[in-house]
Amino acid sequence: MIKLFWYFTNILIFKTLLPFPSSIKVFLLHMYGAKIGKKVVIKPNVNIKYPWLLTIGDNCWIGEAVWIDNLAQVTIGSNVVLSQGAYLLTGSHDYTKASFDLILGDVTLEDGVWIGAKAMVCPDVTCKSHSILVVGSVATKDLESYTIYQGNPAVKKRMRKIMA
């Protein structure tokens, strides 16, 4: 029954283009079992599959049209940016079986990660501290800390230097 209630909440409050305040969205996510930190911004037209499998740290920004397809746990650290249209994917299918059995894998974004617009993080991937996945790229395996990745599949391009 909770899935049904969430389905309608998601459609009416999150997946709409109406600019409901982030505070309302955070409150609703808490009500459905998500663990959400302070100063989290959730823009319009965001799709979250199951909030009870979602943890978000402090000072995060979730852009327009982000899809958190969390059939398994999604953990987002603090100071993380999910740019417009980013996709966090926790499920796939076993193509070696005629029944295409569902395969699940957690997604973890550690502190300081930036997932660029239209980029995708695949199941069972950890984006380590302060890594960047640039626009339109696909992370099919773990990203190293302080490293910038690009492409499909994403490959290491250069180190990330943060100025004080």
User: What would the pLDDT profile of 37-76 be if each residue is shown by its tens digit?
Assistant: 999 999 999 999 999 999 999 999 999 999 999 999 999 9
Alpha carbons 129 and 144: distance in angstroms, whole number: 8
Q: Name the one residue in this structure whose structure tokens are 């100025």.
A: 163
Q: What is the pLDDT of residue 42?
A: 98
Q: Which residues contact 123 (CB under 8 A, 6 or more apart)?
A: 72, 89, 90, 91, 92, 103, 104, 105, 106, 107
Look up the CATH superfamily of 2-121: Hexapeptide repeat proteins (2.160.10.10)
At 90, give phi and psi (nearest 5°): -110, 0
Strands (E), 13-164: 35-36, 41-42, 47-48, 54-56, 61-62, 67-69, 74-76, 81-82, 87-89, 91-93, 102-104, 107-109, 114-115, 120-121, 125-127, 132-133, 138-139, 147-151, 154-159
Each domain of the chain, given as residue ranges in start order, spans: 2-121
The pTM (predicted TM-score) of the whole model is 0.96
Q: What is the pLDDT of residue 164?
A: 77
What six digits make up the tokens of 60?
A: 């995060």
Q: How confident is the model at residue 139 (pLDDT cuts 50, 70, 90)?
A: very high
50-55: long-range pairs with CB below 8 Å, 24+: 50/3, 50/6, 51/6, 52/2, 53/90, 54/29
Q: Name the one residue in this structure whose structure tokens are 């004080």.
A: 164
Half-sphere exposure (Cβ direction) of 159: Cα atoms closer than 13 Å: 3
